[in-house]
Chain A
Amino acid sequence: MKILEARDYVVKNLKYALNPQSIAVVGASRYPTKVGYKVVYELMKWGFKGEIYPVNPRAKEILGKKCYPTLKDVDKPVDLVFVAVPAHLVTSIVNDAIAIKAKVLVVATSAFKEIGREKLQNDIVETCRKAKLPLIGPNLVGLGSPYEHFNCGFIPYLPVEGPIAMISQSGANLLAALGTSQAEHFGMSFFVGLGNKADVDFAEFIEFAGQDEHTKCLSIYIEGLDSPEAFIKSCKMVDKPIVVIKVGGSKIGVKAAFAHTASENPNSDDYYDKIIHEAGAIRAKTRQEFLDVSLALGYLPPLKGDRVVMITNGGGAGLLSCDHFERLGMPLHELKEISPALAQRIRAYMPMFGSPLNPVDISGTANVIQYKGAFQQALRDPNVDGVLGAICPTAVTDVLGVAKAAIEVYESTKKLNKPFIMICQGGQECHEAIKLLREHGIPAYPTAEQAVNAMVALYNYGKNK
């Protein structure tokens, strides 16, 4: 339901959504194949340190924990009530949650507005709003934070710690990001599925993320925007990069978005372009771009100018990159234009057949020492705003060695506050290198286009900022 601006009581209470001291799981199940079991199981598995109170009138004990027939039977304070029961039970649970003075209500249950039960959904929201009990959902997958060892929902993964707050209406896309987080080191500060976002809206999580110490970038997946004014206002209040992917713009996508999360899209896609632009956020067109750009904005400072130097051992990767830079409206400059001195100095790190243009091609024979020297020279040059490195493995390339050298250089030049992005295009050794680089805060990608998208996003954010 529409809000005109983020509500203070909601923003204030969201700390209980992501760092509760106690959780009641309504619909907790004894059976391992059921959602209500998984919620309790995942909380325990990932090391949630607070109290867990399973609620199920049929069970006496679940996963070794005493089970309560109703919320009202839990005789201790409850911060968060997680609801995993059918829709026709939710009204009663909302009333009980209000009665026990819970701080926040998370409703995973589907079958509300998205199947035509708008009145039921609205009645529940109005009850919650009257009682100042924030309701997250319904129709969501869950939420959590790796910093708090908190995984609340039917989510099999907890992401690695990192700077990105993932706020998503879609459970599936959230799960996909969470699933790759461990394997690809996509670090998150917290994540939340909003589902139908019947009560708590994007704006409130945006303001919460703005205050969250671990969050450096907000990544928002939107299917419908009921409260554009609140969205714009909250985005403007937050001094952190915000990446948005807005879907449901196609003819059939409009219907699919309603069936999925009851999202209404009466306006054209251009309308959302304007909203997102006015909010000062960056709009990604594809899910991959959304993740890639978020990673860079989460880990790196903004790019202050367009003087980017690319250092590669493969001319092909360089060409793909410079073409894509130009396509995105940020063409590379020749190295001698950026820094004539650097163009001279960098020759020391390449064979005579290398190219000191931009991209700087230090050739397929480049070793770790040459990479390291070229990276150092480029990053330390005051005329250079950012560096894009590329590893294209040949038979003589020590991929992990180069990655470690890149990390060493990045660590030693961090104070200069310049973005440093890497491309590692190739097989398994590149996958390992990407993971290693990301673990040390360097956004690394398997393709040139992904890396260029990230660098341009840093530039655009720098300009908007």
Chain B
Amino acid sequence: MEKAKHYKVGTEEQQLYLKDYNIAPKGCAFLEPGVYAKDAKEFVAFNIAKSFYQVYPEVFNLPYIAKKVGLKEDEIKRRIKRMYDERLFMLVSNSYVGIMGFGLYYWVVKLKDDTTREEREALTKWMQDNDQICTGYMMEEGGDFDYFNGNHMRNLDNLVYGVLDKFRFNRCVEYVHILPIRRLVRESHVNMFDAKENVGHYFWSDEQKEKVLKIQNKMDKYDFAIIDAINNCESVGDMFDYDVLARLSGLDAKEMKEDIIKIVDEQKTIIPMIYFNYASLGLKLHFFVVSLFQNTPTYRAEQICDELAQDPAFENIFDCSDGHHNYVLSVYDGITDIDKIRQKILGYGEVIEVLEADSPRQFRRRTCRLDDKNGYYEECIFTDDVLLDRSKE
């Protein structure tokens, strides 16, 4: 049997098998060549940091952050601890689901006008508690749609039976539109693997940076600068203090550092990052679900996506295919000029429709629950469907 060719995003070896097979990977996560399981030794530095940063902020590279931010290390420690305790952020890692062999599927849900408050609350609770939904947003009433959720999955039957049917056959649901993600361009302000440029870069617009300091008092400019320093470090080798990780774990600092550099900097299979929990600052996300005319050529759709991605104001940029809608974009309400963004989107003649809604609440982020009110902040639940047949559940 021919030795498997590794998938290395951003290198000359990127998915070499595509020379033989013109299809995207569709496999079983860590069994795909070049992919590491989340509990593999290559991940261990991240896993240690993820387990300890709540109590030991020094897992982050404090000297590096101090230099970037201009504060003393103790002060940075104190601020990181406070920001975590106030649920303002969370250390997460985004896996490149495409390379792992999963599909990334989102869906947008619109409720009927006669849906009662109780019915809406029941559906919201079901979504919050549903371990088959890895990421989800609830919208305010009165918008063009009511929920935007997603999951990484291998098997479309599982998506249909396990999730979509639950909406389709609900009395209150007017429609559920599936949004298969073709390119994950930006998530939580960080450019993801499918961005044309600046992969791993953390963005905020100048307008947002300025306004966010004026509309709330939980985070000051130094707090934002700390997150910026962590998320924008050139190499994951600068993100953590590997000696601290070694002291806490008993494992070898040098080996851990080399391992994680390999999978983050070189192979780009994960992006560790700080997720900024907008809801805890009282911010809302304003979503745009954008549809293009069906006769828009693929290359043009991607050009538009890349042009939009030049704007640092976007918090999320999802590029979709095989569905009614082409992009899902979001920006923070209150600190972003929504009209300007809307005009920018509508400025493209290829756009046929834009749906809009405001989200004051995110249910989960990449498998991590965010509902602190229920006592589940940062509870991470595996939501994937590997080896499962949910059509029989």
Contacts and interface: CB of A to CB of B under 8 A. Distances in A.
A89 B379 contact: no
A92 B39 CA distance: 18
Contact of B44 (A60, A88, A91): A88
Contacts of A33: 131, 381
Contacts of B55: 57, 69-70
B52 interface: yes
Nearest to A27: B51
A320 interface: no
A4 to B, nearest CB: 26
Chain A interface residue number, banded? 20 to 34
Contact of A86 (B47, B375, B381): B47
Interface in B38-95: 39, 44, 47-48, 51-52, 54-55
Dominant secondary structure at the A interface: loop
Dominant secondary structure at the B interface: loop
Contacts of B51: 57, 85-86, 88-89
Given A30-B376, A58-B378, A59-B375, A89 B249 contact: yes
A29 B379 CA distance: 8
A68 to B, nearest CB: 10
Contacts of B248: 89, 91-92
A58 B250 contact: no
B222 interface: no
Among B44, B131, B248, B381, residue most surrounded by chain A Cβ atoms (within 10 Å): B248
B377 interface: yes
Interface residues of B, number: 19
B386 interface: no
B251 interface: yes
A226 B72 CA distance: 51
A92 B48 CA distance: 10
Contacts of A29: 379
Contact of B52 (A31, A61, A92, A124): A92
A120 interface: yes
A89 B381 contact: no
Interface string B349-393: 000000000000000000000000001111101000000000000
Interface string A78-106: 00000001101111100000000000000
Given A86-B39, A86-B51, A124 B250 contact: yes
A13 B60 CA distance: 38
Contacts of A60: 375
A35 B48 CA distance: 19
A408 interface: no
Contacts of A30: 375-376, 379
B249 A58 contact: no
Nearest to B56: A92
A151 B48 CA distance: 29
A431 B40 CA distance: 48
Contacts of A70: 55
B381 A31 contact: yes
A77 B162 CA distance: 47
Contacts of A86: 39, 47, 51
A239 interface: no
A391 to B, nearest CB: 45
A123 interface: yes
Nearest to A117: B251
A22 B47 CA distance: 29
A12 to B, nearest CB: 27
Contacts of A111: 39
Nearest to B248: A92
A31 B52 CA distance: 19
Among A88, A91, A111, residue most surrounded by chain B Cβ atoms (within 10 Å): A88
Contacts of A31: 376, 379, 381
B48 A88 contact: yes
Contacts of A90: 250
Contacts of B249: 88-89, 91-92
Contacts of A123: 250
B379 A88 contact: no
A31 B47 CA distance: 19
B47 A88 contact: yes
Contacts of A120: 250-251
A124 B44 CA distance: 18
A201 B263 CA distance: 39
Interface string A53-80: 0000111110000000110000000000
A114 to B, nearest CB: 14
Interface string A112-155: 00000000100110000000000000000000000000000000
Interface in B20-44: 39, 44
Nearest to A124: B250
Contacts of B131: 33
A91 B381 contact: no
A273 to B, nearest CB: 38
Interface string B129-160: 00100000000000000000000000000000
B375 A61 contact: yes
A89 B52 contact: yes
B96 to A, nearest CB: 23
B337 to A, nearest CB: 36
Contacts of A92: 52, 248-249
Nearest to B84: A57
Given A57-B54, A58-B54, A70-B55, A88 B375 contact: no
B48 A58 contact: no
B349 to A, nearest CB: 48
Nearest to A94: B250
Contacts of B379: 29-31, 58-59
A92 B55 CA distance: 12
Nearest to A88: B249
B364 to A, nearest CB: 13
A44 to B, nearest CB: 17
A69 B54 contact: yes
Contact of A91 (B54, B250, B376, B377): B250
Given A57-B54, A58-B54, A69-B54, A88 B377 contact: no
A395 to B, nearest CB: 45
A29 B377 CA distance: 12
A2 B323 CA distance: 64
Among B55, B250, B378, residue most surrounded by chain A Cβ atoms (within 10 Å): B250
A-B interface, 9 closest residue pairs, ranked by CB to CB distance from nearest? A91-B250, A57-B54, A88-B249, A58-B378, A92-B248, A57-B55, A88-B48, A69-B55, A120-B250
7 contacts: A30-B376, A31-B376, A31-B379, A33-B381, A86-B51, A88-B51, A89-B52
Given A60-B375, A88-B48, 7 more contacts: A57-B52, A88-B47, A88-B249, A88-B250, A88-B251, A91-B250, A92-B52
